[in-house]
Amino acid sequence: MSSCVLVIDDSAAIREQVVRTLKDVGLFEEYCEARDGLEGFKTLIESKADLVICDVDMPRMDGYKFLQLVASRPELLGLPIIMLTGMMDFNSKIRGLEQGASDYLTKPFDSGELVARVKVQLKIKSLQDELKKANEQLKRLTNIDHLTNLFNRRYLTEVLESEFFRARRNRENLSLVIIDIDYFKNVNDTYGHQNGDVVLASVAGLAQKQLRAYDSAARYGGEEFVLVLPGTSLEGGKMVAERLRQAVLEFAFPSPMEDLTLTISAGVATFPSPSIDNIDSLFRQADEALYRAKQTGRNRVELMDV
């Protein structure tokens, strides 16, 4: 059962007939009514209806203008709208369908035909919703590293491009942190690659816990990770990296790695800076800072040269 239908008609008798017909077959949990297109649009925004049945000829705002308003709202894309009309004019039907109507029903209508057309539109909407979910899942799978559940390197490029453009346009900070697990080869050699995968997934999980909702974390390759921190200063980026470094150092791994003490090294760079004018230079500055962290003893966080 769908949750809500919105019936828009200036005739109270028609609205009552439509609602009674649909209630008799129990297609919806909630029934909303409106007297014209403007009232209907306001009700639609509030009620989030699953289907709309709308008269064409109404005072104040007719069905065509209502369709135009619906088309202007991306969140209403795909909403099934059945138009009611007392006219048999073929061109009027074409006009409505071109403006976004899903179907037409001519007044006076047969109750059985109304129910059948509503069921068809609900079925189409259900299939479209399932397809949308499948596409979203597919997109997620193509963007996610299957081992760590972080973004993959390909999607990292898209995120960085978007965030760098936003930071430059709004004159805001954007920090980048590159992280590398110290002596990871020794983990694989000592405990095996399967346990090495456990270590990678554990570090990824710890990284996610340090982030805000609008931050991003990606597996860049092997044992290397990247954090993208919008609106974050160089000192702020250092704090995030330090918290992660400490969390990794204190993490207790499951058997047979109870005695493993793991450390990470990190490099932090921040835009804007005289030495950073694009994504490549931002990445290069963070990578050079990471190299210094490795060269000066590991298990540390280094910042870009300022």
- What is the distance between the alpha carbons of residues 236 and 251, in angstroms, rounded to a whole number? 23
Residue 98 is among the residues annotated as catalytic for this protein:
no
- Is residue 71 helix, strand or coil? helix
Of 280, 277, 273, the C-alpha closest to 304 is 273
- What is the distance between the alpha carbons of residues 230 and 240, in angstroms, rounded to a whole number? 12
Among the listed residues 29, 223, 224, 250, the single catalytic one is 223
Q: Per the structure block, which two tokens stand in for 164?
A: 């760098």
What's the chain's Rg over C-alpha atoms?
29
Of 157, 156, 148, 122, the C-alpha closest to 50 is 122
- What is the distance between the alpha carbons of residues 205 and 200, in angstroms, rounded to a whole number? 9
- Catalytic site residues? 223
